[in-house]
Structure 1
Amino acid sequence: MSAMPGPGPSDAARVAAFLDVLRASTGELPISANLESRTRVIDERIAGAGLGLADKIAVFKALAPSAEEDIGHAGTGESAELRMERLLLSVAPEDLPAFKFALEYDLDYKDLEEYVFHDIDDVPRQLRILDHLKRTPASGGIKVLSDVDDTMYANLIDRRYPKGTFYPGVLDFYDAVKKELFAAGTPPRIHITTLSARPNPVAGKLEEASLRSLAAKTKDRLCPSALSGSITSSTLGTIESILRARRRRRPENVEQLQGPDDDGLFDRLPHGQEDEIGRAKFANFVRFAAIYPEYRFVFVGDSGQADALTAQLMLSDPLSNALAPVITTFIHDLRQSESDTASVSRAFQALPPDLVVRGTSPAGRGVVVFKTYVEAAIIAYRHAESLQGLITAAKLARVTCAALRELDTSRGAVSAEMRARYRQDAEEALSLVSNAAHQDPALVEEAKKIRQLLD
């Protein structure tokens, strides 16, 4: 996909001057006046200002509540909401992709879902905005939504890797499956949206720091936005996952070592807290999909929490099917063996067998269960026809090479068992790439790179 030009820089002086004009009272019209009359005055101000797209983006951000106002739950206020709505509706359909991209991936805690569904509370206004966003030209783009803990890097449950280790090949896998309209940065950064089980932060600046930290940890390869969970379901669901993993790591004679109530918290937690996380993530996804009707979607999660339920809802819920073309979903299998039930949620265990996608499945749309990101790419490549070319042979080679290089730099941090699994998957990928090279000679060099890394 060829990159579209971005909005460019804004004119700070022009933005400040226009904000004064826009925020000014609508003259003789009190706030209780006919809404149509007030709207007409604001529209005339916007039209007469001659703002460029970058200026409109800066003005829109300035109209939204600050982090301090969000902490105090001050809200946007009817006057500011009206101005935010009219400014967004003034953006021409052909400029909407750049407008949305700039607001989504600027590494602050406000993403477009936050602006439309939280800063603007009035439902009729939200619906008018969504109707306008439907006019965005079709793009053929693909947005990647990903969990963070135990999907992007080992953290809560996964003890096969040192805590905080990014999974080998994960960033190149994201890069392979996403298709963005804008190639920001040199080299282009990888734009994804994290669909996290972590609670929605009390202060937005904490989330902003988290996003910037994630970018820094990947040496600015990753440029994420974030959709956070609700504070109740996310906190309790995460506690449930941690306690399940902790129970797994106890010695076999645990009954002799613990007090009578030591494991009581896990058993007394209400059932389904992890499922609440899954449903909260799905609700966030539905709002996100409504904002991006021109995109298709891929979801990446893990078996440790309720990502399997989120994936299932994305694929089968009528609301999702009406709004969002989900190409497929991927679930990282954290189990150390088939009998390891402590590393998987009830949602993962309850996945319908006909929804689980393996390399030999009849089609690729479903829940692709994988151990390594090389395997995830292999399965997607084997189902290239039904997944509309999501992973090509060249992309498979790129993910495989990246995973092998990153595995090599980890030295002894990854177990011998996992290293053997990566080698097995890489050998399979090499075979597939070598076969594809008969039709595409350019792949010969890619196959050689994999072979050299394996040797």
Structure 2
Amino acid sequence: MSSPTLLASLLAGRTSRTEEQQVLALLRMASASALDRILLETDAAELIGSLDDRRFGPANRTAVRDLLVARIGDLSIQARANLAYGLQAGPTSRADAEAIRAVFLSCRGEDLTRLKNAMNMRTDSHDLEGLVYSDVGSPTIRAEILNHIAREAAGVEPGEAKVLCDIDDTVVCALHDRRYPRGTIYPGILALLDALDRGPDDEPFSMGDLTFVTARPGDAFGLIENHTRASLRRAGIAHHSVMTGTVQALFTCDLMAGRKIANIEHYHALFPEYRLLFIGDSGQADIRVGDTLWQRLEHALDIVFIHDVVHTSDAERARLRGERIHLVDTYVGAARIAHERGLIARAGLDRVVQESLSALAEIRWSSVEQERATRALFERDAALG
């Protein structure tokens, strides 16, 4: 029986003291390759959470945490990311936060970038931003992690950007846009996000460089965030993370913008080695977000796209373009600008055009006039190149 299989049998159901000791013995005796395989194939949250620190008796949870941290050099990048998740998923004590810090400090340079990307690729609410800014409760430990990230980012050049994208009226027609039936996934947006993720050569350093920044509120158990992720996966966006808002931030556009900006600044502190792209819409506060980002993060920002859903005048569009905020009617138009700026490959642009024209045929339009007017925008943008 393999080590992961034996471990799974020991962790099944409620774990007794004897079984906890057997788990510890198995981990102590495991070779470096076997231990790495265990951390790759076993749910680390279940592994750590199944062992207890008893008031009168052995502190087995502490023992397994200390053992894994002591042997962190035996673990691959993905296994280290899984270990951090195991410490993050349940209640995270100061000792757990110190162990999480050890995971970060165990990697340098490009390895640290790969570790952060692996941490951020989870399909639930336990992503990198939640780990550093929420689960690590100690400001001192958080600062030590962020300082290490900043130092190690200096020599890393991924050659691609992280994409920060709104959801409502940016990915899906939801609030202010009357050009499409409500609930429509905008033609071309999925192909554009994929092309931006793949970068200018269509050969990405990493996939999953997409994070959704939404005003939708989060909650203590991650239920809303997990629902958002599930909806995005159903729409065809598999690799992404989500940064949510608050109920209070929904009250005014200023509060919505402030929350998004704070989240994006957090994100930049976690990935300072990457350039940033922001995609939003003109319906609420995203123009304000884009303007503030140019003021605060000009050194890191490549471009701001705003999906125009409220028929902004040509004069206002020209003014905003002078402030490096590009309003677009279609994602074909956005893709053309992105290609001109060297942000996506020609093949990526072609995929956006093809997906957009195909998607238009699948929409159940509310009226002939709605379809005619929207198709005209795509035909105009498609004909430009």
Structures share a fold, TM > 0.5? yes
In structure 2, relative to structure 1, the CA distance for the partners of 1:369 and 1:17 (3 Å cut) is closer
Is the CA contact 1:18–1:49 (under 8 Å) kept in the aligned structure 2? no
Aligned counterparts of 2:107 and 2:98: Cα–Cα separation in 1: 15
Deviation (angstroms), 1:419: 3.8
The counterpart of 2:334, out of the listed 376, 384, 391, is: 376
Aligned pair 1:214/2:236, yes or no? no
Count, aligned residues: 333
Is the CA contact 1:300–1:329 (under 8 Å) kept in the aligned structure 2? yes
Aligned counterparts of 2:77 and 2:331: Cα–Cα separation in 1: 39
Aligned pair 1:205/2:223, yes or no? yes
In structure 2, relative to structure 1, the CA distance for the partners of 1:391 and 1:420 (3 Å cut) is farther
Is the CA contact 2:338–2:344 (under 8 Å) kept in the aligned structure 1? yes
In structure 2, relative to structure 1, the CA distance for the partners of 1:10 and 1:426 (3 Å cut) is farther
Deviation (angstroms), 1:232: 0.6
Aligned counterparts of 1:160 and 1:94: Cα–Cα separation in 2: 44
For structure 1, which runs of at least 5 residues remain unmatched after alignment?
1-6, 26-40, 70-75, 184-189, 237-272, 340-348, 433-455
Which residue of 2 is the match for residue 303 of structure 1? 282
In structure 2, relative to structure 1, the CA distance for the partners of 1:102 and 1:424 (3 Å cut) is same
Aligned pair 1:326/2:301, yes or no? yes
In structure 2, relative to structure 1, the CA distance for the partners of 1:424 and 1:77 (3 Å cut) is closer
Deviation (angstroms), 1:126: 1.6
Which residue of 2 is the match for residue 182 of structure 1? 206
Secondary structure of 1:64's partner?
A: helix
- 1:410-449 correspondence runs (5 A): 410-413=363-366, 416-417=369-370, 419-432=372-385
Deviation (angstroms), 1:391: 4.1
Is the CA contact 2:136–2:142 (under 8 Å) kept in the aligned structure 1? yes
Which residue of 1 is the match for residue 349 of structure 2? 396
Aligned counterparts of 1:210 and 1:154: Cα–Cα separation in 2: 15
Which residue of 1 is the match for residue 164 of structure 2? 145
Task: Compute the RMSD of aligned alpha carbons.
Answer: 3.4
Letter in 1 for 2:243: L
In structure 2, relative to structure 1, the CA distance for the partners of 1:174 and 1:160 (3 Å cut) is same
Letter in 2 for 1:212: A
1:239-275 CA deviation, whole Å, 9 max, x = no partner? xxxxxxxxxxxxxxxxxxxxxxxxxxxxxxxxxx211
Secondary structure of 1:299's partner?
A: strand
Deviation (angstroms), 1:151: 0.6
Letter in 2 for 1:201: D
For structure 2, which runs of at least 5 residues remain unmatched after alignment?
1-35, 55-64
Tell me which moved more, 149-158 or 118-127: 118-127
Aligned counterparts of 2:263 and 2:176: Cα–Cα separation in 1: 24
Which residue of 1 is the match for residue 118 of structure 2? 102
1:60-80 CA deviation, whole Å, 9 max, x = no partner? 1111143xx5xxxxxx32222
Aligned pair 1:161/2:180, yes or no? yes
Which residue of 1 is the match for residue 310 of structure 2? 335
Deviation (angstroms), 1:338: 4.5
Deviation (angstroms), 1:120: 1.1
Letter in 2 for 1:10: L
Aligned counterparts of 1:278 and 1:166: Cα–Cα separation in 2: 23
Secondary structure of 2:39's partner?
A: coil
The counterpart of 1:51, out of the listed 54, 70, 75, is: 75
In structure 2, relative to structure 1, the CA distance for the partners of 1:12 and 1:411 (3 Å cut) is closer
Deviation (angstroms), 1:298: 0.7
Is the CA contact 1:162–1:414 (under 8 Å) kept in the aligned structure 2? no
Secondary structure of 1:222's partner?
A: coil
- 1:115-126 correspondence runs (5 A): 115-126=131-142
In structure 2, relative to structure 1, the CA distance for the partners of 1:424 and 1:232 (3 Å cut) is closer
1:182-233 CA deviation, whole Å, 9 max, x = no partner? 35xxxxxx65211001012242133223202210232xx4322101113311
Secondary structure of 1:60's partner?
A: helix
Aligned counterparts of 1:169 and 1:208: Cα–Cα separation in 2: 24
Aligned counterparts of 1:11 and 1:216: Cα–Cα separation in 2: 26
Secondary structure of 2:163's partner?
A: strand
In structure 2, relative to structure 1, the CA distance for the partners of 1:406 and 1:15 (3 Å cut) is closer
Aligned counterparts of 1:379 and 1:44: Cα–Cα separation in 2: 48
The counterpart of 1:287, out of the listed 258, 266, 270, is: 266
1:13-48 CA deviation, whole Å, 9 max, x = no partner? 69689959x9989xxxxxxxxxxxxxxx96995247
Is the CA contact 1:274–1:306 (under 8 Å) kept in the aligned structure 2? yes
Is the CA contact 2:39–2:79 (under 8 Å) kept in the aligned structure 1? yes
